[in-house]
Structure 1
């Protein structure tokens, strides 16, 4: 790894953006501990999946403002109930002016509910436990599984869902990618499995040297390119 991706260099660069250590630490995101992820009901994971699906291509604040209406319309996103949603139910929801009426995105709700139920059957526990137990040293493997078996959870949406749900993950924003390219970890925006593994390797090395979660390292890489204020 080049010195531009060493943790001491990264820390010093980002720390210079803030007035104090406390200010920097307060700004950096937090991930939930595995036990907290396991305690969350699977309805919360389906809600987060759906929220992320609707955020794609839209202002997040618009989706977030309407989310209480979504929770009411879909009765708290219980996976077993949501797996039974059919075409007539979707038509009914398309007449609800309180939510965002996007048929293709609404149709992901039963698909992702079935994905959650399949994981339960496959692993003999909750979806939250499956998420919690997935090693962060292979977070790209979890992204891949979400893309393969979830509905509209490919691209950035898989990582975005995990961030909403509280699972530790990095985000491949334009600034994160720019820093990784400048550091020589990758040569372009990652798209292939090989490129993504190079990104994972870079984050694993940073995590080993720093002890910080991926979400904080991701934020620090972005801040090393562009301050947030």
Structure 2
């Protein structure tokens, strides 16, 4: 099993000081900060993550100001009404990345946000903020099931974009989990993912750190160039 003190010591050796290590590690927003985000920012991040899949993130990032302009700031109520004809029109717009399947995900994810708002009688940001980090894989599962093109690593990638606390199952993180005997192969089943969640929960209880920091530390313990 993973030992937090060993993990801390292994990662600390890679930095000149405690301050340098802490400055490097990612941080998550507080629940209150997540609640204050507008739902347009959540749809924007969903769309950004969808477009990042399978391509260089820097290419998507460079075009993102144009995406914000073309899609009117990603207001869910407006984006949910995008018609197939409008989607075809966007396929001729050179300011954005023209991928029909990914463009079609925009109104679907906008409706997903509106559905959650109706079900929860609150904002999507409140829904995200209130979801417990001790069951973050449950949120991954919901995003994959009800969102569009948010399966695989995209759910966790979306949560990282909005700064909701989550771990990432990168190849380095998986390698450390295997080396520690937590799992013996890449986790894909819900059973395997629950084992990983339990391991992160134990590390979090011991350390008091964000899941995203623990995830980064696990990666650093394998890859010094993280």
Which band: TM-score by shorter chain? over 0.9
> What is the root-mean-square deviation in Å for CA atoms of aligned residues?
0.6
Partner of 2:172: 175
Tell me which residue corresponds to 2:125. 128
2:206 is equivalent to residue 220 of structure 1: no
1:115 aligned onto 2:120: no
Gaps of 5+ in 2: none
Alignment pair present for 1:99 and 2:103: no
TM-score, normalized by length of structure 1?
Answer: 0.98
Aligned-pair distance for 1:59?
0.4
Deviations 1:49-100 (A, max 9, x none): 0000000000000000000000000000000000000111101111110100
Counting only pairs closer than 5 Å after superposition, residues 29-178 of structure 1 correspond to structure 2 as: 29-178=26-175
**Residue from 4, 7, 10 that aligns with 1:7:** 4
**How far does residue 228 in structure 1 lie from its aligned partner after superposition?**
2.3
What SS class does the counterpart of residue 168 from structure 1 fall into?
coil
Q: Deviations over 1:6-29 (max 9, x none)?
A: 110000000000111111011100
2:206 to 202, 209, 219: 209
- 5 Å-filtered alignment, 1:17-32, equals 17-32=14-29
Unmatched 5+ stretches in structure 1 = none
Hey, what does 1:184 align to over in structure 2?
181
Following TM superposition, where does structure 1 have runs of at least 4 consecutive aligned residues deviating by more than 6 angstroms?
none
Determine the C-alpha separation between the residues in 1 that align with 2:215 and 2:79. 33
The structural deviation recorded for 1:227 is 1.1
Number of positions where the alignment pairs a residue of Structure 1 with one of Structure 2: 226
